[in-house]
Structure 1
Amino acid sequence: MDLAAESGKRRYDKENANTSMKFACWSLGGNVGTDTLLLADMGLAVLQDEEASFHAPSPSPFSNLHHVTSSSPSHKVLQHVDQNIRSQDTFLTESTTSSAEFFVYKRRKLDTLGGDDKFNRMSDELILAVFRWLPKFMLARCAQVSRRWKRLAFDESLWRRLDLGGKTLKPGVVGRVILRGCVILRLSKTEVGTPIFSPQLQHLPTLLPVRSKLQYLDLSMAVIQPQALEELLSVCFDLKKLSLEHCTLTQSVCSYIAKNTSLETLNLAMCYGLCHSYIVEILTQCKRLHCLNLAWTGLSSEDLRVICRRFPASLERLNLSGCRNTLSDSHVRLLSEQSSGLVELDVSDATQLTASAVSSIIKHLTRAEYLAFSRCYAIQPDTYLELKAMPNLLYLDLYGILNDSALNILRQSLHQIKINKYLFSSVARPTVGIHRTSVWGLRVRD
């Protein structure tokens, strides 16, 4: 075994001694001899001997330039690689391993897909002009493209009016809309999730107080919890027209409503939880109120007595229909004396009213243009003939009282007045008739 190992070692030394080139200097140091083919198979280049490089004359920069331009080593390397691929498995042979021809070239970078981005060249004003034609859900998707698009998609000019009627909104959606600067918001027949603002925002210690820019808010027939309604109205200070029809009210809700001193129109028809103290607080603070709807709110006789004394002088349109057994002639007399500037009055379904109430209206409400006495059964039909003394009266509703023959006689006597023109009252209501894309005459859809 020792003789065989010794003979193998001699054979290995003899083969290494017969190689055409031998190198002793490596980058990591050490005297190791290696075949050039082995280096080529490993993908390594041969380093020039230090002694040879020391005795070789230093090349001039012009000679290198001439060598690169004349010999074009890149072309040679590609030719050698092509020949080696066709002839054998190795990529480089001994003839191509010279230090002058072995170069590493950077792979050319492929051009990225693209084209010219037209939006980057456009100004913010032009992009906003394009975004105005998009629906709101598409704006929310555009906000996910880039930071610039997000800033432009959430611009206040694009969110001034919004219609979310008849939808089911998740918690925090209404709060996001308010923070985007919405001015006209329709939430009629909408199921509003609680809370109004996102829970993540509520835990931020540095969150500034929110002051919404809402001026027109329609919550008619909306499904909303009293706590959510309080949270929504707590950030509203500039409301001009508000509709809370068929909502549940609390003292806090009425207090937040009273803070909107610029309030002009208020619809509280069919609301639950109302009492005279809540309404008096609103009437005391809102001095510009000229349209008020308190129909079918279940107010007691005492509530009506207090309220009729506190109506502001600016009130022009009032709806007190639905007070079947509570509204009396004394209430109408107090009302007509306190608010002599009323132009429209609806006291339908007040079964306790008599001819005395009609006389009080004729005496004090000289500017009245519209009166409604529908289903007031205690008033005698011939009493309405006295309304001829009101020169400004244009419309009179008497549904459910007179038959066709009596109506014809009354129309002949009051030929300047249109009788039973409107089936439902429009006092303070945001939508009238078939107009469902606007509230109080203002568009809610772009």
Structure 2
Amino acid sequence: MATQMADEIMPSSENTPGSPTSSTGQIPLEQPPKLKGRKKFLQNLQRMSSSPTLTRRGRSASTGYRRDHKASLSCVSLSSTAYSPCLGNESSSQLYGGLNPRPATPGYAGPSGDAQGINNRIRLVGTDSPNTSQPRTIPLPFDVRPASRGSPRSLTPDGAKEEAEIERETAPPEPRLVRELDFWGELPQELKVEVFRYLDPREIVRCSAVSKAWNAMCFDGQLWTKRIPGDILVKLITSGGPFVRDLNLRGCAQMRDKWSSEGERISDLCRNVVNFSLEGCRIDRISMHHFLTRNPRLRYINISGLNSVTNHAMKVIAQSCPELESFNISFCKHVKTTALLQVVQACQQLKDLRASEIQGFDDEDFMLALYERNTLDRLVMSRTDLNDESLKVLMHGVNPTIDLLTDRPTVPPRRFRHLDVHHCHDLTDSGLKSLAHNVPDLEGLQVSQCPELTDDSVIEVIRTTPKLSHLELEDLENLTNLTLTELAKSAPKLEHLNISYCESLGDTGMLQVMKSCPKLRSVEMDNTRVSDLTLMEASYRVRRRGYGEEIPKVGLRLVVFDCANVTWAGVREVLSSNAYLPRVRKPVSAVVTVTQTSEDDSSPTTTAFVTPSSTPPPVATYPSEIIQLKCFYGWQMTVDEHTKRVKRGDLAAASRLDRKWTDYMMATEEAGAAGAGARRRRRRAREAERLYNADDSEEESYGIGLSALGGTRRRRAQSGSSCTVM
């Protein structure tokens, strides 16, 4: 068998048709015939090498293995990669040169200088026998091994260098600073909401317990746009049972049929509710009374706008909810102050009472109960029948003691922080003056749409309320600029001001307010006499709030639509201010003077050298705050687009839009003017309109850098000459 295998592997001693030379190294006289068909195919095949080292040895093309004049495809491949299964039997780890074909050129010598081209044996490390205990790796030479400290070789400079190089090569790589990716935290809010849309209501409620951020997101109104079936809502409420603290059923109209059948079960399970809201929820009277009776820990109740709320419900709340602090009963048609009096007397911790459109505020007994309680921080009495006498009882009580020196009642000051009496037509200056000197902690006052009020009462209240931050004076036709002037002096903490439809107010008072109230956040002055001067002053004051590296945010909201004196030039001033950055200041330079005296000339020569400062000044990147403007509807789309670009930090695009809109408005005004040159003005108007409607291009003549350096401002004319500083 061994003989037969050797015959198969060993090549024939005769010259094959594909060999160019004979075994003696002489060139044959006759050329071998050309091969065809299978022989030609096998002639171009190469034999696979069983070791990577043989691939680098010169080899001739294989002629195939012949046995009975038949070619064998054993150990033959169409590629030049190594064929590993050739040594898979592990019978021998030595390769012999007889397995290789003859060299391609005569006199080829192998790596050992064999002139006959016979390859020496190639020994693979550690593969002498399968059971050998020899290591399969070759140790490093002695001269490149790392030496221990104190050894003779480590003391030599070369050894130290080698040791340092080896340590540098063998040292572990320095850890790369990989930024931690907060995948969920960096997602936009819209995508987060879209992910939660795939959850059912019960799963959303369970996710709300993960964190505060998830709780706010799970109860986002966008997730509950589709009406939840009443059965699922009842299961969600009853599954919480005694663990429910906040039950907000605002707008759940689908619970109308469930309260009659499941109301008693819900009341029996939910007995620890603290905050309860039924605004816009259809509930029958019996179910509501039953629920209020079973929850004595209620502190916040919102039942505004419910037709099922009657005077009997006030009696139930007064008897069952002694810890009540906030009560909203606005727009309940079947409730009067005679029944609400029971709640005020029984709930000693009441701090927030909202009772808009409740009849009976002209009752002095009810107002006297509020005066004696004196625990309210917020009182809403808008759209009621409040009059001067009842408001005086609320502030001074009945028959107060009068101070002879000041001619004012000597009563304890009221604790009101927010007072809303707007749309009370019976209120006049006599009643509003009772607030003066009695509400020192007042922060919010709403007296809009009280047509009888004038400067006398409003100014007296403003002077005695230094903490005033929100003031509503809408539609008070009798007010003048004296009120705004006094407001600028007495209310430095003012944040919100509404003077809409006060047609007598103008720039005289508003300029003082803009200068003296640095904390302004919102000003509504539509249908007034304010002009572009107010907008310019507001832009200047907002710019003074500073610059920083963060994206701009809205710092002041102005409402100036339907103001006849506000033109597009004032609106353009606001837009330019939002995208304006101050010019970059040059670094402070030091001037060094050197005096030199030459040998030929006795006169000294003075030379001045300018050395720049080593610490450049900080460069502003974005304005800290901008103005959000609501103006004429024809300009509003441009204003909104400009504000959008500024809020995302693209000041260059905002400046381009500002320039195009300015050119368009100027061309429009010229085109509308009569006289000579009308055709030229119309042509310029069309050109400006074309530029305005064209898409914004990133590469324009002004560039981003010029915009950042104040490119929106007027530039000086430049001459054609140039100056070169050597």
TM-score, length-normalised on structure 1?
0.54
Q: CA deviation at 1:388?
A: 1.4
Shift of 1:254: 2.4
Q: Which residue of 2 aligns with 1:284?
A: 372
Alignment of 1:47-62 (within 5 A): none
Counterparts of 2:264 and 2:317 in 1: how far apart (Å)? Answer: 11
Q: Distance in 1 between matches of 2:249 and 2:331?
A: 19
- 2:422 aligns with one of 312, 321, 324: 321
Can you list the C-alpha shifts for 1:157-198, whole angstroms capped at 9, x where unaligned?
A: 135333243525345866665551222111112333122468
- Aligned-partner Cα distance in 2 for 1:246–1:261: 24
Q: Which of 252, 263, 269 in structure 1 is aligned with 2:356?
A: 269
- Residues 56-75 of structure 1 mapped to structure 2, 5 A cutoff: none
Deviates more, 1:388-397 or 1:310-319: 310-319
Counterpart of 2:279? 188
Task: Name which of 150, 155, 173 aligns with 2:241.
Answer: 155
Shift of 1:295: 0.7
Give the corresponding residue for 2:381: 294
Whole-angstrom CA distance in 2 between matches of 1:279 and 1:176: 39
- 1:394 to 2:495 alignment: yes
* Residues 132, 158 of structure 1: 8 Å contact kept: no
Find the aligned partners of 1:381 and 1:225 in 2 and give their Cα distance. 45
**Residue 413 of structure 2 contacts residue 440 of structure 2 at CA under 8 Å; is this kept in 1?**
no
1:254 and 1:279 in contact (8 A); partners too: no
Q: Distance in 2 between matches of 1:327 and 1:142?
A: 48
Counterpart residue number, 2:510: 411
Rounded Cα–Cα distance in structure 2 between residues aligned with 1:329 and 1:422? 29
SS of residue paired to 1:414: helix
Return closer, same or farther for 1:219/1:351 CA change in 2, 3 Å cut-off.
Answer: same
1:264, CA displacement in angstroms?
A: 1.7
Deviation at 1:269, TM superposition (A): 1.2
* Alignment match of 1:368 (pick from 468, 471, 479): 468
- The number of aligned residues is 277
Where structure 1 has 5 or more consecutive residues not aligned to the other structure, the ranges are 1-127, 144-149, 202-208, 424-446
Larger displacement relative to structure 2 (230-239 or 290-299): 230-239
- Inter-partner Cα distance in structure 2 for 1:316 and 1:419: 21
Determine which of 217, 223, 227 is the counterpart of 2:301. Answer: 217
Q: 2:324 aligns with which of 227, 232, 239?
A: 239
Cα deviation digits, residues 362-404 of structure 1 (max 9, x gap): 321122112111111122234322211122223221121138x
Distance in 2, Cα, partners of 1:284 & 1:358: 26
Secondary structure (helix, strand or coil) at the match of 1:318 reads: strand
**3-state SS in 1 of match to 2:436:** helix
In structure 1, the residue corresponding to 2:456 is in which secondary structure?
Answer: helix
Distance 1:362 1:292 in 2: 19
In the TM superposition, 1:116-155 aligns within 5 A as 137-138=231-232, 140-141=234-235, 153=239, 155=241
Would the aligned equivalents of 2:298 and 2:324 in 1 still touch at CA under 8 Å? yes
State the Cα distance separating 1:139 from its structure 2 match.
Answer: 7.2
Alpha carbons of 1:214 and 1:419: their partners in 2 closer, same or farther (altered >3 Å)?
same
Structure 2 distance, partners of 1:414, 1:130, is 48
What letter matches 2:498 in structure 1? D
| Aligned residue number for residue 34 of structure 2 | none
Q: Are residues 1:356 and 2:456 paired?
A: yes
CA contact (8 A) 1:397 1:422 kept: no
CA 1:353–1:130 in 2, change beyond 3 Å: closer, same or farther?
closer
The aligned residue for residue 44 of structure 1 is: none
Contact 1:131 1:139 in 2 (8 A): no
- Structure 1 CA distance, aligned partners of 2:261 and 2:393? 39
Paired with 2:513 and 2:457, the residues of 1 have a C-alpha distance of 19
1:39 aligned residue? none
**d(CA) in 1 for partners of 2:434, 2:503:** 28
SS at match of 1:272: coil
User: Structure 1 residues 313, 186: CA separation in 2 closer, same or farther (over 3 Å shift)?
Assistant: same
Native 8 Å contact 1:373 1:397 kept in 2: yes
Q: How big is the shift at 1:359?
A: 2.5
Larger relative contact order (CA 8 Å, sep ≥ 6) = 1
Displacement of 1:341: 1.6
SS at match of 2:340: helix
Cα distance in 2, alignment partners of residues 392 and 328 from structure 1: 27
Query: What residue in structure 2 maps to residue 306 of structure 1?
Result: 393
Partner of 2:634: none
Which amino acid letter does the alignment assign opposite residue 299 of structure 1?
L
Q: Secondary structure at the match of 1:419?
A: strand
**Distance between the aligned counterparts of 1:297 and 1:373, measured in 2?**
18
- Report deviation, 1:409: 5.3
Give SS of 1:338's match: coil
User: Is residue 432 of structure 2 the alignment partner of residue 332 of structure 1?
Assistant: yes
Secondary structure in structure 1 of the residue aligned to 2:327? strand
Q: TM-score, normalised by structure 2?
A: 0.34
Partner of 1:337, secondary structure, is: coil
Q: Return the offset for 1:360.
A: 0.8
